[in-house]
Amino acid sequence: MNNIISVQNAIFSYPGNDIHVLNDISFDVSQGEWVAIIGHNGSGKSTLAKAIDGLLSLDSGQVVVDGLELNENTVWDVRSKIGFVFQNPDNQFVGATVADDVAFGLENRHVDHATMVAKVDEALKLVRMDKYADREPAGLSGGQKQRVALAGVIAMQPKIVILDEATSMLDPQGRQEVIELLHELKQRYKFTVLTITHDIDETALADRLFVIDDGSLISSGEPEKILSDSKMLLEKGLDLPLGEHIKHDLKELKIEVPEEYMNSSQVVNWLCQQLSSME
């Protein structure tokens, strides 16, 4: 498989501060992969995402996106391959109306008017916001605004989509809508996904999981492997997924539980089997 993102020895610190927000991080992401990045607030996750998009420049290290080495000359080309959805729904809504906002990226890329109208239309239909095309952002819910942001991303047909805690300011319903939508769009367009999230249940959807702590990549691998390491997750201030949480609690109560990762319905099934086998 081709590496679509490759980060080598990334080091970054904010001006006037010695602390390395990114402390020698290296990893590769292959084409079409879904990678979730977890870590507590201030661990450097968002900084990493911004560095990949050239929104801040590394002190040292290298970022290669789809074969292009990120530098001053390539930064706009790199950005054209990446769609970015940020955390705060309000602060990334540039357009005066929903349609205007979706069009913003297309206008920047000098797309002609007829193509633009068609693309805006199509993108809004895909995120099921076409009925709101002329609405102003003030009347929309957080979830709707993030769907518009996704439409803006889709209209550009990027190879990579990065979501930087894009669901963390939404209510449960909005969160669900955005995640489901992302899933649907990923299946359709096969783009590579990088999500930064606190929602541990959301990470179970990923192909691979990165755990970042104090600017270092401390663990990476399949979600099953990472999420069953309850000791590490708790130490790093993270949540346990539901199934593992129950297993962890039962283990504390001296009940023997299987070592391998189980999601909640697997745990329920296992428990029910244990109960019926005793009768």
Q: Report whether 60 contacts 9 (CB < 8 A).
A: yes
Asked if 112 interacts with another protein (CB under 8 A), we say yes
Edge-to-edge strand list for the sheet holding 208-213? 82-85, 160-164, 192-196, 34-38, 208-213, 216-221
Of 6, 23, 47, 92, which one interacts with another protein (CB under 8 A)? Answer: 92
145, 93 contact by CB (below 8 A): yes
Give the residue, chosen from 82, 178, 194, 204, that forms a contact with another protein under the rule CB under 8 A.
82
Paired tokens of 58: 């590394």
Site residues (CB under 8 A) for another protein, limited to 29-58: 40-42, 50, 53, 55
- Which window, 22-30, 95-103, 178-186, 220-228, contacts another protein (CB under 8 A)? 95-103
- Tell which one of 68, 133, 205, 268 touches another protein (CB under 8 A): 268
127: left (phi over 0), alpha (psi -120 to 50) or beta: alpha
Place of tokens 């199934």: 243
Q: Which stretch in 25-33, 63-71, 121-129, 244-252 sits in contact with another protein by CB under 8 A?
A: 244-252
Among 22, 65, 200, 262, binds another protein (CB under 8 A): 200
Residue whose CB is less far from another protein, 31 or 80: 80
Q: Does 259 bind another protein (CB under 8 A)?
A: no
Cα-based angle 210, 211, 217 (whole degrees, multiple of 5): 85
Q: Is 141 in the site for another protein (CB under 8 A)?
A: yes
Applying CB under 8 A, the span of 57-65, 104-112, 184-192, 207-215 interacting with another protein comes to 104-112
Task: Looking at residues 159 to 198 of the shown chain, list those that interact with another protein (rule: CB under 8 A).
Answer: 168-169, 171-174, 198
Distances (CA, A) of 11 to 55, 176, 203, 216: 14, 34, 26, 10
